[in-house]
Amino acid sequence: MSESTSDPLKGYKGRARARLQELGIRVWSDVRMVNSAGSLFEGVVLPRSESFDDLHIVLKLKNGYNIGIHVDRVASVEEIGYKEAVYKIPEQEFPSRPDLPNVTLLGTGGTIASRLDYRTGAVIPAFTPGELYGAVPELADICNLTTKKLFGVFSENMGWPEYVTLAENIEREIADGADGIVIGHGTDTMGHTAAVLSFMVQDSPVPVVVVGSQRSSDRPSSDAALNLIHAIRTAAYGDIAEVQICMFGPTSDRYGLLHRGTRCRKMHSSYRSTFRTIGDIPLCIVSRDGFSSLTDDYLHRDASRRVRIDTVYDDRVTILYYYPGMRPNLVDALVEKGYRGIVIAGTGLGHVNTPLYPALERAIDAGVHVVMTVQTLWGFAQMYVYETGRDLLDIGVVPLDNMLPETALMKLGWVLGHTDDHEKVIEMMRTPINHEITEREPHNGYLILQGGLPETDEFVSSHWK
Amino acid sequence: MPDAIDYSEVGLRVGLEVHQQLLTAKKMFCNCPAGIYTREHDGSVLRHMRPTLSELGEYDGTALMEFKTRKNIVYLLHTSNVCTYEMDDTPPFLMNPQALDIAIEQCLMLGCDIIDEVHIARKQYLDGSIPTGFQRTAIVGVEGRLPFHGREITITQVSVEEDSCREVSDRGHLIVWRTDRLGMPLIETVTGPDLRTPDEVEEAILLVGRVCRSTGHVRVGLGASRQDINVSVRGGRRVEIKGVPRAGWAPGLVHCEAVRQINLLNLRDELRGRGFRESDDLGIEHRDVTELVADSPMDLLRAGSWERYLDNGDQRSDLERGSGPFCVRAVRLPGLGDTLSWPTQPNRSFADELRGRVRVIAGLDQPPALLHSEDWPREASATNELDRLRRTLGCSSEDGLVVVWGAEEDTLTAAEEIRLRFLDAVDGVPNETRQPFADGSTDFERILPGPDRMYPDTDSPPQRVTRERVEGLQASLPELPWSREARYTEVGVPTPVIHYLIRRGGARLVDAVVELSGADLRRACFFFGERLKGLRRAGVAVDEISDERWCELFAVFDSRPVAWEAWQSLVERLVDHPDIDLQNLVEEMGLGRAPDGWRERVAGLAAELRPVHPDGSEDQRRRFLMGRAMSELRGRVSSTEVDAEIRSRIGAEHE
Ligand SMILES: [Zn+2]
């Protein structure tokens, strides 16, 4: 993410750009600027964010504060120097010890660790082992680390081609003898990636751990370092050879949870403890001190097992989030645009309104695969319970029990890469690969404590959140 | 105060950072109510702070220190005053525009130039006082001026920022913070280093306070304004005395800090005289002596005492512990004898400088934090112990010796901090933040951070401040305190009363009442600046009476001057019955109207009370009569008239 130095007026447009040109100064000029009120400002001209207005020039003052000066209020300016920020992260060699396991960190673009450029406030991602060692030196006590930056995209820009690249790299790293693989990922679509990798990477001999952070690592209170420590520990020593998400358990700095890739969802836009296993319990607690398994029902680490990589897909799939009053032409439009699979996130046990039935029937007749999940997230699509559900079953909408809508979407795209035969598609969708459908929902698989109740508040006030 | 010094000769320079909470309904970056304080909590979180590296791959000095302390940080939460923003689980909302308006208004009062586009910065704090690890702050105004004793104090900058947590406890590796105050908007007014004597510092604090308070848009009361005082003498360095709660503390604190810096400079000269120049000259070494003192008669040096200190029955004591087993560590200070008892502040010595670092940075806080050879416990058995330790460490008579105890890793940190503090001593006065005490002394709080800890807040867009907005606020600005002071002085109001009125917001009310009810300015000043004080002290909620009610009251005084004498009972009635109809009340009490036959009533009282004080003087009797009569007639007949009537009655008796 190095700054382009080609434009000496980076980010400035319109009037501000013209004024800077007129004044003969540029970004990184060290200036003494006097405004029309006679106030003197000494500092460095900073690049301006493209999305800001064209009326102000930004200075970083000597005391570290930034201010914006209106272009019309600049009375005089004197350039006394030029201080271009150098974006360089010092590296220290990541120590290697033969007695430690080998872990590979695959980067997708999320900044797990980073350094700050104090001059501009830019966050410089730390990624190479040397850079990471400087930021999180504890890692060297856990493993020998290799890193590979696969792409630099925000989490929301991840998509099918990226999933394929990830899966192929996992295959390569396993072949090269990695004892565990960590994937650094933005949190927004982490659940989607973990789900699709659960289908593309099967029978892994080693853990595949997806990790990120909810508070970026340029903040002292960041969860990034601890998440990374937990994830790397899991990859190096954990026994769960599945695709799993490793993120904070509580919002306190205490321990991380390992969630099964197919059953995990981001449930809060900003909390540290945002990831939750839905309809089941997490796999394991991981802390600095070690692991504490919550279940034995998982694929155990076995170096001799051969991984199966299966990366085909068809991205002509979508989620239809049902709402009252939905008009049938929405379904027609999807069919018309060539969508091959529709995951409905239906109400209650898996319902949509009656006017939609003919449109769904038309879609299915046209060979589109329509499956049903529930927008309540917890619970099963049990369409046989009510008349309306039974009608949908008759039309050919297939219930996916307690598969999460996003997991269903990823799986449907992956399945359609294999076959377009309806029977086969439905059979594959309804046959769980890794707990995306479970037979039983334990009573503690659904726990949303209701705050305000005396017993909840008593519990919450006596435990760290 | 000991050690009289000539402040100009030692080159005393003092500047202020005055923090003043703003009176807003909500907090600065979230929609929580401001000013709701709680003693209880209904949730808590545990966090740690990790320093972020600068672009040079170096940690900010403070950051490094804070990281060394490896603090467990607990935040106490209450749903009534914090949301998920305060616990750093939700990004900031847009800056409270009311806070920015008040900040701009304050800047204008201070004569500042307003910044066109306000950029929110993060100022790193790793002590845990803010859960994010940084304070959101923004410069709003620069280059202000305040008239002061015929010269000017410069206002370098005014920033608006979010307030921090309140500390609940700090023991060992655990610090606990209450979050109620966190996020309340405040302004920080930074002055130039323009103050030259301790007394000037107090005056300047009060002056800035009067400016802030004359708008009525700032909070008053305990903790609503706090100041940091930056002190240096020639050859010394800036030391920040942080969070001084009262202006009255300033003279003592500034004096003591000046004395401290002079003493530290003398110590520097002494050390240089002994040949110490740089790090390599300090041959400080340390050794684990736990075994040696395992059977010591000195309780402090045994594991049991430390365990008892830690395990005070608090279930969280595990978080207070450091790493490693109990350890006693002796530190030999070659050639540094007689420096530990070197005086610094009144009643304190250089050993206390070491103590501060050991306590804060190493977290070894069992009093007295360390023992040293120049102030060793006097019991005979203890003296033997010192001799044994000196022998073991190979101390010569020129050497000093310090002993620390606690978790092993912390004793190592302590030994290193002791070395670093001596290294600072060779250099003179270290940049520090110090904690103030009422007696003028201070103790180490942290290393003073540099500008490296500032960086832009990527979560908050800059806020444009248009000239129209500034002009609008300028137009409705209240009168400047010095102009108000001149106006009040002119009608004969004493300065302390004026300052009290401005500080406590009474001046605004005085002017409103004068303007709206035509009241006499001097009378209104004394009323709000003097008379009400007594009632307030007696617990009468006079501050709950609205401006409109005060104006109504003064209108009554205007139309019925005699009613003025009954002001106290009127105010009490207004407090007790906020909705009462004042005109009816006045009628009911008969105020301003002399009751029929009042003269006869006075005559009757005079006759009745004749025997009460048979031996008393005429004066005594008259006063007593006056009291009785006025209790019935106050507000109805003027006291002058009643007095005249009594005098004439008594006079008549003699005829
Ligand atoms: Zn809040």
Quote the CA–CA distance of A213 and A225 in Å, as a whole number.
8
| Separation CA B184–CA B538 (nearest Å) | 31
Q: What is the pLDDT of residue B451?
A: 63
B577, amino acid identity: H
User: Which residues, listed in sequence order, are joined to residue A399 by a DSSP beta bridge?
Assistant: A372
Please check whether residue B54 touches A, CB under 8 A: yes
| Residue B426 near chain A (CB below 8 Å) | no
The distance of B169 to chain A (nearest Cα, Å) reads 18
Q: How far is B47 from chain A (nearest CA, A)?
A: 5
A266 labelled catalytic? yes
CB atoms B451 and A271 under 8 Å: no
CA distance B278 to B262: 21
pLDDT value at position B346? 87
Percent of chain B predicted with pLDDT > 90:
59
**Torsion, CA B510, CA B516, CA B518, CA B523, rounded to 10:** -20
| Residues B523, A249: Cα–Cα separation, whole Å | 66
CA proximity to A421, closest of A410, A432, A429, A411: A429
Report which secondary-structure segment, H or E, holds A148: strand A144-149
Nearest CA in chain B to A57: B117
Q: Which amino acid is at B105?
A: E
A421 carries an active-site annotation: no
Tokens of A80: 């006394």
Domain spanning B279-314+321-432, CATH architecture: 2-Layer Sandwich (3.30)
Rounded to the nearest angstrom, the minimum Cα separation between A196 and chain B is: 28
The catalytic residue among A266, A311, A373, A407 is A266
State the pLDDT at residue A171: 98
Contact A67 B115 (CB under 8 A): yes
Distance between start and end Cα atoms, chain B: 65
| Test mutation, B17, B62, B115, B452, chain A, max A CBs within 10 A | B115
B265 phi, psi to nearest 5 deg: -70, -40
Looking at the complex, does the CB of residue B279 fall below 8 Å from at least one CB of chain A? no
Segment B608-633 mean pLDDT = 76
CATH 2.30.30.520 location in chain A: 14-82
CB B99 within 8 A of CB B24: yes
Taking the domain A14-82, which CATH number applies? 2.30.30.520
CA B384 to ligand 1 center in whole angstroms: 59
Q: What torsion, rounded to 10 degrees, do the Cα atoms B184, B190, B196, B198 define?
A: 10
What are the DSSP calls for A198-259, one per residue? HHHEES-SS-EEEE--SS-TTSTT-SHHHHHHHHHHHHHH--B-SEEEEEESSSSSS-EEEE
Tell me which residue of B420, B365, B404, B311 sits closest to B71, measured CA to CA: B365
- Determine which one of A54, A188, A239, A315 is catalytic: A188
End-to-end Cα separation, chain A, in angstroms: 36
User: What pLDDT, in 10s, does the model give residues B58-97?
Assistant: 555 555 555 656 789 999 999 999 999 999 999 999 999 9
Do B191 and B228 meet the contact criterion of CB atoms below 8 Å apart?
no
One-letter amino acid at B521 equals L
- Three-state secondary structure call for residue B39: coil
Q: Which residues contact B467 (CB under 8 A, 6 or more apart)?
A: none
Instruction: pLDDT band for B53, please (50, 70, 90 cuts).
Output: low
Measured between beta carbons, which residues in chain A are less than 8 angstroms from residue B55? 85-89, 115-119, 124
For B94, residues 6+ apart whose C-beta sits below 8 A from its C-beta are: B29, B460, B461
Burial of residue B624, with CB atoms counted within 10 A of its CB: 0-12 exposed, 13-18 middle, 19 or more buried: middle
The CATH code of the domain at A317-430 is 3.40.50.40
Give the minimum alpha-carbon distance from B42 to chain A in angstroms, rounded to a whole number: 5
Alpha carbon of A370 to ligand 1 centroid (Å): 44
Are residues B462 and A56, on separate chains, in Cβ contact within 8 Å?
Answer: yes
Q: Give chain A's radius of gyration (CA, Å).
A: 26
Residue B1: is its pLDDT beyond 50?
no
Distances (CA, A) of B259 to B52, B120, B233, B443: 36, 38, 9, 14
Question: Cis (ω within 30 of 0) for the bond into A90?
Answer: no
Strand partners, B162: B185
Helix (H) or strand (E) holding B65: helix B61-69
Residuewise pLDDT in 10s, chain A (465 residues)? 344 457 889 889 999 999 999 999 999 999 999 999 999 999 999 999 888 999 999 999 988 899 999 999 999 999 999 987 665 556 677 888 999 999 999 998 766 666 666 555 566 667 777 777 777 888 889 999 999 989 877 888 899 999 999 999 999 999 999 999 999 999 999 999 999 999 999 999 999 999 999 998 888 899 999 999 999 999 999 999 999 999 999 999 999 999 999 999 999 999 999 999 999 999 999 998 899 999 999 999 999 999 999 999 999 999 999 999 999 999 999 999 999 999 999 999 999 999 999 999 999 999 999 999 999 999 999 998 888 889 999 999 999 999 999 999 999 999 999 999 999 999 999 999 999 999 999 999 998 889 999 999 998 888 888
- Position A446 scores a pLDDT of 92
Closest chain A C-alpha to B323 CA, distance in angstroms: 14
Instruction: Report CA torsion sign: B77, A222, B96, B113.
Output: positive
Q: Which residues pair with B45 in a beta bridge?
A: B75
Beta-carbon-side half-sphere exposure of residue A56 (alpha carbons within 13 Å): 23
Nearest CB partner across the interface for A118, out of B41, B119, B455:
B455
Instruction: Let me know: does A408 contact A424? Beta carbons within 8 Å.
Output: no
**A118: nearest CA in chain B?**
B455
Distance B125 CA to ligand 1 centre (A): 19
**In angstroms, what is the span from residue B41 Cα to ligand 1's centroid?**
15
Q: How far is B231 from chain A (nearest CA, A)?
A: 18
Q: Which CATH architecture has domain A102-309?
A: 3-Layer(aba) Sandwich (3.40)
Sign of CA dihedral B463, B465, B466, B468: positive
The reply to whether A318 belongs to the active site is no
Copy the structure tokens of residue A321. 């989030």
Closest partner CB to A66 (pick from B43, B49, B456): B456
**Coil, strand or helix at B373:** coil
Test A270 with B131 for CB contact under 8 angstroms: no
Average pLDDT, chain B: 90
Q: Which residues of A touch B57 (CB under 8 A)?
A: 89-90, 115, 134
User: Which residue is it, tokens 């008349």?
Assistant: A387
Tell whether the model's pLDDT for residue B155 goes beyond 60. Answer: yes
Residues of chain A with CATH 3.40.50.40: 317-430
Say which range, A113-122, B26-35, B453-462, has the weakest mean pLDDT. A113-122
**B406 within 8 A of B415, measured Cβ to Cβ:** no
Pairwise CB contact (< 8 Å): A56 & B126: no
B277 reaches A (C-beta below 8 A): no
Are A55 and B464 in contact (CB < 8 Å)?
yes
Question: In this complex, which of B89, B113, B462 lies closest to A271 when CB atoms are compared?
Answer: B89
Residues in A closer than 8 angstroms to B131, CB to CB, are: 221
Three-class DSSP category at A160? helix
**Sign, CA torsion A59/A65/A66/A69:** negative
Given a contact cutoff of 8 angstroms between Cβ atoms, the answer to whether A161 and A151 are in contact is no
Q: Are strands A102-107 and B117-118 parallel, antiparallel or unpaired?
A: unpaired
The beta-carbon neighbor of A221 closest among B88, B121, B157 is: B88
Q: Do B115 and A53 touch (CB under 8 A)?
A: no
Of A85, A90, A214, the CB nearest to B57: A90
Tokens of A51: 């999305």
From the list A111, A120, A234, A277, the catalytic residue is A111
Q: Count Cβ–Cβ pairs < 8 Å, chain A vs chain B.
A: 162
Tell me the average pLDDT across B202-213: 92
- A388 an active-site residue? no
pLDDT at residue B295, rounded to an integer: 86
* Chain B residue numbers touching A70 (CB-CB < 8 A): 116-117
Residues 6+ apart with CB under 8 A from A389: A349, A350, A351, A382, A383
Domain boundaries for CATH 3.40.50.1170 within chain A: 102-309
Q: If pLDDT is split at 50, 70 and 90, which confidence band does B543 have?
A: confident
- Which residues make beta-bridge pairs with A276? A265
The answer, yes or no, to whether residue B55 has pLDDT greater than 50, is no
Distance from CA of B515 to the nearest CA of A (A): 34
Of A116, A220, A461, the CB nearest to B49: A220
pLDDT in tens, B88-134: 999 999 999 999 999 999 999 999 999 999 999 999 888 899 999 99
> How do the domains of chain B map onto residue ranges?
13-238+452-456, 279-314+321-432, 479-588, 598-654
CA distance B162 to A247: 30
DSSP string, B81-144: T--TTTTTSS---S--HHHHHHHHHHHHHTTPEEPSEE--EEEE--SSSSTTSEEEEEEEEEEE
Inter-residue contact B119 to B456 (CB < 8 Å): yes
**Distance from residue A152's CA to the centre of ligand 1 (Å):** 34
pLDDT, tens only, B410-420: 999 999 999 99
Test A68 with B461 for CB contact under 8 angstroms.
no
pTM of the model: 0.87
CA of B464 to the centre of ligand 1 (A): 24
Alpha-carbon radius of gyration of chain B? 32
- On whether the CB atoms of residues B71 and B101 are closer than 8 A, the answer is no
Q: What is the pLDDT of residue A280?
A: 97
